[in-house]
Amino acid sequence: MDCTEVLNTLESVIGQSDGFVSLHEPTFAGKEWDYVKECLDTGWVSSVGSYVDRFEEMLAEYTGVKRAIAVVNGTAALHVCLILAGVEPGDEVLLPTLTFVATPNAISYCGAIPHFVDSEEATLGLDPHKLSDYLSEITEVRGHECFNSKTGRRIKSVVPMHTYGHPVDLDPLLEVCERYKLVLIEDAAESLGSYYKGKHTGQWGKLSALSFNGNKVITTGGGGAILTNDEEFGALAKHMTTTAKVPHKWEFRHDMVGYNYRLPNINAALGCAQLEQLPGFLLCKRVLAQRYQQAFADVDGLRFFTESENAMSNYWLNTLLLDEPSSEKRDELLELTNGSGIMTRPCWTLMHKLPMFADCPRMDLSVAENLEKRLINIPSSSSVGGHHV
C-alpha cells in the first residue's frame, strides 16, 4: 500500500478545503434557528416542552417502533434499557469487544459484568454463529435462564452494536437469543437510518438505544433515545428517566429509584429540525460512500468497506479496511492524512484491552483483534465533497 496514493485518493473525493476536514460534523441547514429561538422566547428550555413530545413522536414514526423516549445521551438510554430488561448486579451481559466504551460502561452501571464476544468481518459487528458455538460450550440453560458454567453467573442479555452504522446479522442472533433465553438489546447508537432486511435497526431487540451526539447522523448537541415496541416498557422508561416523579400539581412524590435523564426541550427542538432533514443527510452520505468505493476500487492494499447483502447502512463513518500486509502501515497512513489536514482515525481500542475490563470473561477474539489493526475511518460528513441537502 502506497500511503501517498491513499492520501491523493482521499483528496480527489473530498476536494479542496481551506481548513481541517473533520471525521463527522453536523449540518444545520433547516429550521434549527427557528425552533431553538422559540424555546428561548417562550422560556421552555428544560425537560418539559412541546418539542420533547414532538421529537419522540417523530423518532417513533421514522424508526417504526411504538415508543421512543428521548434522554440526555446514548449511554443513559442503554443504561435504562438494561435495567428494564432485568439486568441485575452480578449478571453477565454479552457484547462485542469491538465497540465504543459506552456499551460496557452502561453494563457496569448496573453492577453487571461485561462478557466480550468476537465480531465478523462481513458486518464489523457481533458474530452470531461464533457466539452460538461458544455458548454451546460454556452455558447451561435452566428453565428460562442461561448460566455460565464456568463462573456460575446468570447470562441475562446480549447487546450487539451496529458498527459505524452497518447492521449486525440479526436473524441468526435472534435464534441464539431464543435458544439461550437471552434478552436482545440493540446498541443502535450509530445506526439511525440503517435497515436490516428492510426493517429499521432498533426494532429487533426488546429494547434499543440511539445516540444524537454531535458527531452522529443527526444531533441534538448531546442526546439519545430508548426505542421499544413494548408500551409498558415505554411508559416505565419515561417515568424512570424523569426521576420517577408521580404526577401531581405541586407535590414531589417519587415511587422508585429514578434517573434525571430526560432530554431538555431546547435540545429536542434541535432534534426535530435535524430529523426533518434526515432523508437528505442519508442521501448525501450514500453518494459520498459510492464515490469513495469507486475511487478506492483500484488502490492496492485496502478496500472500502460496504454494506452487507441483507442491509442498508447509513454509512455513519466510512471505513477503509487494510489488507493484512498493509496493516503495518496503518499508523503511517494516520500520521500522513492527519498531518495533511484530513482527519482519519483507527478503530477504538478493544474493550477487553482496557484496564477496567481486563479481567472480564471473554471468548476467542481473534477476528476483532485482527480488525482493530486494519480499520481506518475517513471523513464522512453529509457535506463532504461539496454535497449538501
Determine the Cα–Cα distance for residues 241 and 183; give it in Å rounded to an integer: 21
pLDDT band for position 308 (cuts 50, 70, 90): very high
Determine the Cα–Cα distance for residues 65 and 208; give it in Å rounded to an integer: 10
Q: Give the pLDDT score at 18.
A: 78
Mean pLDDT of 315-325: 97
Provide the pairing of β-strand 183-187 with 207-211. Answer: parallel
Q: Which fold has domain 32-276?
A: Aspartate Aminotransferase; domain 2 (3.40.640)
HSE on the CB side for 13, CA within 13 Å?
Answer: 27
Q: Give the pLDDT score at 47.
A: 75
Q: Is 215 exposed, middle or buried (0-12, 13-18, 19+ CB in 10 A)?
A: middle
Q: What is the pLDDT of residues 129-165, one digit of tens each?
A: 999 999 999 999 999 999 999 999 999 999 999 999 9
**What is 3-26+277-386's CATH number?**
3.90.1150.10
Determine the Cα–Cα distance for residues 94 and 355; give it in Å rounded to an integer: 18
pLDDT band for position 17 (cuts 50, 70, 90): confident
Q: Kindly report the three-state secondary structure assignment for every residue of 224-236.
A: EEEEECCHHHHHH
DSSP designation for 385:
G
pTM over 0.85: yes
DSSP 262-282: BPPHHHHHHHHHHHHHHHHHH
Determine the Cα–Cα distance for residues 181 and 184; give it in Å rounded to an integer: 9
Q: Give the pLDDT score at 46.
A: 84
Q: Which is more confidently placed, 139 or 15? A: 139
Longest dimension (CA), the chain: 68
pLDDT band for position 49 (cuts 50, 70, 90): confident
Q: Delimit the domains of the chain by residue range.
A: 3-26+277-386, 32-276
Judge if 3-26+277-386 and 32-276 fold alike in CATH terms: no
Residue 53 confidence (pLDDT) above 80: yes
Q: Give the pLDDT score at 48.
A: 79
User: What are the residues facing 374 on neighbouring strands?
Assistant: none
User: What are the residues facing 183 on neighbouring strands?
Assistant: 157
Q: Give the pLDDT score at 19.
A: 85
Spatial contact of 375 and 347, defined as CB atoms under 8 Å apart = yes
The amino acid that residue 176 corresponds to is V
Backbone angles phi, psi at 237, to 5 degrees: -60, -40
DSSP 83-146: HHTT--TT-EEEEESSS-THHHHHHHHTT-EEEEE-B-TTTSSB-HHHHHHHHHHHEEEETTEE
Alpha helices (H) along 143-264: 170-180, 231-240
Q: Is 5 exposed, middle or buried (0-12, 13-18, 19+ CB in 10 A)?
A: middle
Our CA dihedral for 20, 24, 29, 34, rounded to 10 degrees, sits at: -110
DSSP designation for 209:
E
Q: What is the pLDDT of residues 72-88, one digit of tens each?
A: 999 999 999 999 999 99
Q: Give the pLDDT score at 1.
A: 94
pLDDT band for position 387 (cuts 50, 70, 90): low
Look over the chain and give the mean of its residue pLDDT values, rounded to a whole number: 96
Determine the Cα–Cα distance for residues 10 and 178; give it in Å rounded to an integer: 44
Q: Give the pLDDT score at 386.
A: 64
